[in-house]
Structure 1
Amino acid sequence: MAGKLPQENIDEQQLTVGPVKHRAVGIPGILHSMEVSLNQMGPLRTAQTLLRINQKDGFDCPGCAWPEGETRHAAEFCENGAKAVAEEATKRRVPPSFFAEHSVSELREWDDFRLGQQGRLTEPMFLAEGSEHYVPVSWEQALGMLAEELTALAAMP
Structure 2
Amino acid sequence: MAAKPPKSDPVQDAPQVAEPKHVAAGLPAVGHTLRMAQRQMGVKRTALTLLSVNQKDGFDCPGCAWPEPEHRHRAEFCENGAKAVAEEATLRRVTPEFFAAHSVADLAGRSGYWLGQQGRLTHPMYLPEGGEHYEPVTWERAFDIVAEEIAALGSPDEAVFYTSGRTSNEAAFLYQLFARRLGTNNLPDCSNMCHESSGSALSETIGVGKGSVLLKDLYQADLIIVAGQNPGTNHPRMLSALEKAKANGARIISVNPLPEAGLERFKNPQTPRGSPRAPR
TM-score computed with the length of structure 1 as normaliser: 0.87
Aligned to 1:6: 10
The residue that corresponds to 1:58 in the other structure is 58
Indicate how the Cα distance of structure 1 residues 67 and 35 shifts in structure 2: closer, same or farther if over 3 A, else same. same
Q: How many residues align?
A: 153
Cα offset, 1:146, TM superposition? 2.3
Q: How far 1:144 sits from its partner (Å)?
A: 2.0
Match of 1:88 in 2: 88
1:37 aligns with: 37
> Which one is further off, 59-68 or 104-113?
59-68
Are 1:154 and 2:143 an aligned pair?
Answer: no
1:135 CA drift (Å): 0.5
Structure 1 counterpart of 2:131, which letter?
Answer: S
Contact 1:5 1:118 in 2 (8 A): no
Superimposed CA distance per residue, residues 94-146 of structure 1 (whole angstroms, 9 cap, x where no aligned partner):
11011111101111111111111110000100001111100000011112222
Q: Where does residue 105 of structure 2 map in the other structure?
A: 105
Contact 1:67 1:76 in 2 (8 A): no
Cα pair 1:6 1:117 within 8 Å, conserved: no
- CA pair 7-41 structure 1, distance change in 2 beyond 3 A: closer
- RMSD of Structure 2 on Structure 1 (CA): 2.0
User: Which 4+ residue blocks in structure 1 deviate beyond 4 angstroms?
Assistant: none
Amino acid at match of 2:99: F
Contact 2:40–2:92 at 8 Å: present in 1 too?
Answer: yes
Partner Cα separation in structure 2 for residue 46 and residue 57 of structure 1: 17
1: CA distance, partners of 2:29 / 2:7: 20
Q: Extract unaligned runs of 5+ from structure 2.
A: 160-280
**What does the per-residue CA deviation read over 1:10-45, in whole Å, with 9 as the maximum and x for residues that have no partner?**
1x4x524x23423x2121111010000000000110
Q: 1:67: Cα distance to partner?
A: 4.1
Residues 8, 75 of structure 1: alpha-carbon distance in 2 compared, 3 angstrom cutoff: closer
Mapped to 2, the partners of 1:113 and 1:19 lie a distance apart of 21
Query: Greater Rg, structure 1 or structure 2?
Result: 2
Cα 1:29/1:70, change in 2 over 3 Å: same
- 1:15 aligns with 17
Contact 1:62/1:81 (8 A) holds in 2: yes
Q: What residue is the counterpart of 2:199 in the other structure?
A: none
Paired residue type of 1:33: T
State the one-letter code of the partner of 2:156.
Answer: A
Following superposition, the deviation at residue 147 of structure 1 comes to: 2.9
